[in-house]
Structure 1
Amino acid sequence: MTGAGELVERVRTALREVIDPEIGFNIVDLGLVYDIAVAEDGVARISMTTTTRGCPATGYLRGGAGEAAQSVVGVQWADVQLTYDPPWAPDMMSQAAKDYLGVGR
């Protein structure tokens, strides 16, 4: 049986395949994914945000996150919740995303 931590990391890896269409980089490294938890029953709970409220890609990103999580063996269903607390800020990005976007140069 896969440990919960390993399953969470596999979900995180799958979420890196979801690319924000406006920015061109994955939602994990952009800092849009706040939390990932996988229950024993295989339900993945993902808390995420968008760069702004009213972002036109919100539905796409939320749907993509759900599909990506559900593609992971051991995940039966994904519950993707949007939050704007805390609001997203550029300092939430990984160094790879900052380098890609030229932030902080």
Structure 2
Amino acid sequence: METSAPFEYTGDESLRQPIGAALGRVVDPEVAMSIVDVGLVYRVAVDDATVHVLMTMTSAACPAADAIVEDVEAELTRVLPPRYSVEVELCWEPAWTPERMSERAKRFMRW
């Protein structure tokens, strides 16, 4: 486990670990690694009724974007109490760069 948080998190601390684990199970099929390790998740904000995930793709032309977003929604829905809805927002600024990858991902990609 890395010492720095892979993404910004605000909200109910009791949900931090299950949300992080759920996002860690979502795989970017183009690189066969977790979206957390690839550095696609920028921020998770939890309020009383919503879990908002701000994330990106490695490129705006990513053919797997829809599938990844669906997987994020499905994994989070499995671990969240029923009162929560999930919102996933794709953004392109700041643009994803390889520096966002975890050390494990960099080793895997031989960078």
Q: Shared topology, TM-score over 0.5?
A: yes
Is the counterpart of residue 102 in structure 1 residue 105 in structure 2? no
Distance 1:38 1:52 in 2: 26
Matching residue's letter, 2:68: L
Is the counterpart of residue 50 in structure 1 residue 81 in structure 2? no
Q: 2:28 aligns with which of 20, 43, 51?
A: 20
Distance 1:54 1:8 in 2: 30
Misfit runs of 4+, over 3 Å: none
Shift of 1:73: 3.1
**3-state SS of the aligned residue for 2:33?**
coil
Q: CA RMSD in A?
A: 1.4
Overall identity of the aligned pairs, in %: 33
Aligned length in residues? 100
Matching residue's letter, 2:75: A
**3-state SS of the aligned residue for 1:7?**
helix
Q: 1:66 aligns with which of 36, 54, 73?
A: 73
Q: Which structure features the higher share of strand residues?
A: 2
Q: TM-score by structure 1 length?
A: 0.88
